[in-house]
Chain A
Amino acid sequence: MKDKPKLLTVLDGVTLVTFLAATAMVFFYAPTERVMGAVQKVFYFHVAAGWVGMVSFFVAAVVGVIYLIKKSPNMDLIGIAAVEIGIIFTLINIVTGAIWARPIWNAWWTWDPRLTTATIMELVYIAYLMLRQGIDDPERRARFGAVYAIVGFLSVPLTFFSIRIFRTIHPVVIGGSDPSAVGAFDMTPKMFQTLMFSIVVFSILFIDLIWHRVRLGKFQNYLEELKIKLQV
């Protein structure tokens, strides 16, 4: 296994410092929302986590297409890494949304279009991991995974646009909300800057995590090959 690249070590440091800065901005720079109080501060990382989840699934679909064309095992490694990270961040998005909803909507959960489509999206990608577990042949597993990541991506735009297409109580952050939305608020410039910075920081975190996960995948493949060589 190759040593950890210096650039990855630098990226680890940048990720940690910017993440701490984003956390400080959420707590000390962005003002507390007048009606919702402290729970509104969860919103910055809730949106950023949702962003990373969707970007991850987009990356998985794109590398899925590249894999089907070039049959490069590295594309398969990036695909599985992206889906794994996407599942974690979508879960953060869904759970923090439920926590925010309890005091604001007076319910942990409601079958609103956004919540429902986000849950379906999460389940689609959990099924992706289960599908891969069930296939032993690496080439077949990668091919099926690539096709599944491309088809599964249909759930992403459906989730993203659900609050713009359907009548929903979920607030729309950028652009006008449905009048029936509950918990919408006007962002001050400081709130907007904090949100944008959080999204950038979570994007850096995504790149850092995917790099580590791909290295792990390469290590796994190397050991698999070594095992086969020793058996022969």
Chain B
Amino acid sequence: MEETLNTINYALAGFVVIFGSILGYIASLFIRFNNLKKDEEILSDQD
């Protein structure tokens, strides 16, 4: 019977990539939205 490999570090790295990428994309949406809100305020002041 084959021995189970100790691959916990690789599993952790994999989940860091998965959660980090998804959270990073959500953060990018949030930051872009906030920047647009600021632009909107500036433009409405000029209006």
Contact = CB atoms under 8 A, between A and B. Distances in A.
A42 B14 contact: yes
Nearest to A46: B14
Interface string A194-232: 000000000001000100110010011001001100100
B25 A38 contact: no
A103 B33 contact: no
A96 interface: yes
Contact of B2 (A35, A100, A227): A35
Query: What class of interface size applies to chain A in its complex with B?
Result: 35 or more
A99 B43 contact: no
B33 A92 contact: no
Interface in B1-31: 2, 4-8, 10-11, 13-15, 17-18, 21-22, 25-26, 29
B35 to A, nearest CB: 10
A41 interface: yes
B47 A230 contact: yes
Contacts of A34: 2, 4
B17 A37 contact: no
Given A88-B25, A216-B29, A216-B36, A100 B43 contact: no
B29 A213 contact: yes
A96 B19 CA distance: 11
Nearest to A95: B17
Given A37-B5, A100-B10, A223 B43 contact: yes
Contact of B7 (A36, A49, A92, A96): A36
B33 A39 contact: no
Given A209-B25, A216-B32, A99 B5 contact: no
12 contacts: A36-B5, A39-B8, A42-B18, A92-B18, A92-B21, A92-B22, A95-B21, A100-B10, A209-B29, A212-B29, A216-B32, A223-B39
